[in-house]
Amino acid sequence: VTLLAAVAAILVAPDATATTRGQSAQGWKFQEGGVGATETEAMEAERANYSLWIMTAARTSGGQLADAQVTIVNDKGEQVFERRLDGPWLMIDLPLGRYEVHARTGEQSQSRITTIHPGDHHQIVFYFNVEGGVLPKP
């Protein structure tokens, strides 16, 4: 099976997973997932409940990527969140402040800085140089 065929099968496969909800060590709620149309629609319906939305995708195809490692560091240099994502989306309700957000997949790593103000909703998309889209490792 070629990578392209595997990606095509993933894109048309029925939704078999559910989003993951949790809380960071600081008690900030998060939700991750977005594999398949049903999960993506469910997450988009809840976007207003989170201050930061992160998505990982393939640069050339735009295909969404799962299995990225996301780390968030506050303005004091303290790591406040770290997780390997089960899907391409992470939504987290960060409190006001400045954050450096890191995403890593394979040997590629990227960082963005964002500042959450009252009532803010920010979105960060990390594009990686990979073929198609990939699912989490079994």
Q: What is the pLDDT of residue 132?
A: 57
In the chain, the amino acid numbered 22 is G
Rounded CA-CA distance 126/138 in Å is: 23
pLDDT of residue 108: 95
Cβ proximity of 118 and 84 under 8 Å:
no
- The pLDDT score that the predictor gives to residue 10 is 41
pLDDT, tens digit only, all 138 positions of the chain: 444 433 443 443 444 447 889 898 889 999 998 888 888 888 888 889 999 999 999 888 888 888 899 999 999 999 999 999 988 999 999 999 999 999 999 899 999 999 999 998 999 999 999 865 554 444
Please enumerate in sequence order all residues whose Cβ is within 8 A of that of 71, keeping only pairs 6 or more positions apart, or say none.
79, 81, 82, 101, 102, 104
Could you read off the pLDDT of 87-126 as tens digits, one per residue?
899 999 999 999 999 999 989 999 999 999 999 899 999 9
Position 77 scores a pLDDT of 95
Question: What is the Cα–Cα distance from 132 to 129, expressed in whole angstroms?
Answer: 9
